[in-house]
Structure 1
Amino acid sequence: MVFAPLPSTAAWRHELARDGFEVAYFQADGSRSRFIGCTTAVEEGATAVVTYDIIVDADWATRRAKVALQSESGARRVLLESEGHGHWRIDGEPAPWLDGCLDVDLESSAMTNTLPVHRMRLDVGERADAPAVYVRMFDLSVERLEQGYRRIADADADAETDADAGSREPRSTRAGERYDYRSPAFDFECVLVFDESGLVLDYPEIAVRVA
């Protein structure tokens, strides 16, 4: 499948899990793409500002992610680097527990769900595991996160339910590609809706696209 070109910018309102807002900017640089963004958030009374600068290669494997945090406890930064085949370094040190991960997933970002969808390019009915390098929002700790995506029938403007999805339904009824998403570690599953560029429109209980 082929996605439309990314817009120059997009934004999401975070809700339920936390209050906040995320803005991202997209740049094409030869065979690589760059994502620069910022999330401001409040969760259980704690505030945080997280900025990111992510580069993916022509196959949409993440090659570098610079993530910075400002919170009440101070400022932190982490640098994640990969050769594109699932081997990682954290601030220059090898991180073998992340072997096999091709994507970065930021707890603070709805945008980063764009990365595996573009990389896998699933057809309707196909599924794939997508373990990710997961960066926590309030301390930038790095974990391995097992995830799975299954592409289900695309949404249309009138569709509101899908009995085959087996998950909570998205609130948005805008047309778009839909994926049955599962994260066993969080005992979480939902239906993600993406636009023609592969950007999340609706991430139930997490975020909704506003621009």
Structure 2
Amino acid sequence: MTEIIATTRWRALDRDGEDKCRLALLNGGYMLVGHARFRDGAGWAALDYVVRIGSDWRTLGADVTGTHAGTELKLKLVCEGGAWSLNGAPQPQLDGCEDVDFAFTPATNLMPLRRMPDVGRLSTRSAWLRLPGPTVSPLDQSYIRERGNIVSYHAEQSAYATQLVVDPTGFVTTYPGLWETDA
């Protein structure tokens, strides 16, 4: 039986778009279920995603289905014993990844944010899914909780850094210039 723990809705700040997401408790772990609709440089996207998460807030697997720029997507990422696969094909470059990071939504920041200490730093490696492509590669990330709900974020491979505002459930409420919750 699933129990909804939290829901959120974001609106895109850098393009037309929105994302609705809910977090549920499921079989001793968690599940994120979301619906992202946006326009990017390649065209319109209508993507649905599910992320299966263990009780330790590490990703067990994820699915993305829908369309992006007129192309149908059906992706299944699975992590078993630290080994990742995409649609059944091994992805050895993802060894050491603890999470997924979908470049099209702030939802997937939730897992590392839930593992963070009240004060301090968390470093993690994520399976980074980008569109078009799709392309999946490792992304080394660091999160530093500076004070209360302010978290400094840095993504190594993209050299991207910002300060996130996070709510008590762990969802990002402000991703400067990209997303903010739509109350």
TM-score (norm 2): 0.91
> Shift of residue 30 of structure 1?
2.7
On the 8 A contact 2:42/2:132 being kept in 1, the answer is no
Whether the 8 Å contact between 1:134 and 1:143 is mirrored in structure 2 is: yes
Structure 2: gaps spanning 5 or more residues:
none
CA–CA separation in structure 2 for the residues paired with 1:52 and 1:210: 19
Q: How far did residue 6 of structure 1 move?
A: 6.9
CA distance change for structure 1 residues 197 and 208 in 2, over 3 Å: closer, same or farther?
Answer: same
Bigger Rg over Cα: 1
1:16-31 counterparts in 2 under 5 A?
16=14, 18-31=15-28
**Are the aligned partners of 2:38 and 2:46 in contact in 1 as well (CA < 8 Å)?**
yes
Distance 2:38 2:24 in 1: 25
Who is 2:182 aligned against?
Answer: 210
Any idea what SS the aligned residue of 2:157 has? helix
Structure 1 residue 146, shift from structure 2 partner: 1.5
Counterpart mapping for 1:79-98 below 5 A: 79-83=76-80, 86-98=82-94
Q: Tell me whether 1:10 sits opposite 2:8 in the alignment.
A: yes
Q: Does structure 1 residue 113 correspond to structure 2 residue 92? A: no
Instruction: Please give the root-mean-square deviation of Cα atoms over the aligned residues, in Å.
Output: 1.8
For 1:187, the aligned partner's letter is A
Matched ranges for 1:1-211 at <5 A: 7-16=5-14, 18-44=15-41, 46-83=43-80, 86-118=82-114, 120-124=115-119, 126-154=120-148, 177-211=149-183
Residues 28-83 of structure 1, C-alpha deviation per residue, up to 9 Å, x if partnerless? 11311111111111123621111101110100111010112303342021110112
Q: Per-residue displacement from partner, 1:156-190 (whole Å, max 9, x unpaired)?
A: xxxxxxxxxxxxxxxxxxxxx22110113222111
CA distance in 2, matches of 1:183, 1:130: 10
Q: Secondary structure at the match of 1:151?
A: strand
Kept in 1: contact 2:42–2:69 (CA 8 A): no
Q: Partner residue of 1:171?
A: none
1:104 partner letter: V
TM-aligned CA deviation for residue 140 of structure 1: 2.6
- Report the Cα distance in structure 2 between the residues aligned to 1:8 and 1:69, rounded to whole angstroms: 24
**Structure 1: gaps of 5 or more residues:** 155-176
Q: CA deviation at 1:206?
A: 1.3
Q: Which is richer in strand?
A: 2
C-alpha separation between the residues in 2 aligned to 1:105 and 1:20?
Answer: 18
Q: How many residues align?
A: 181
Kindly provide the amino acid, as one letter, of the partner of residue 61 in structure 2: R
| C-alpha distance in 1 between matches for 2:101 and 2:156 | 15
CA distance in 2, matches of 1:8, 1:46: 30
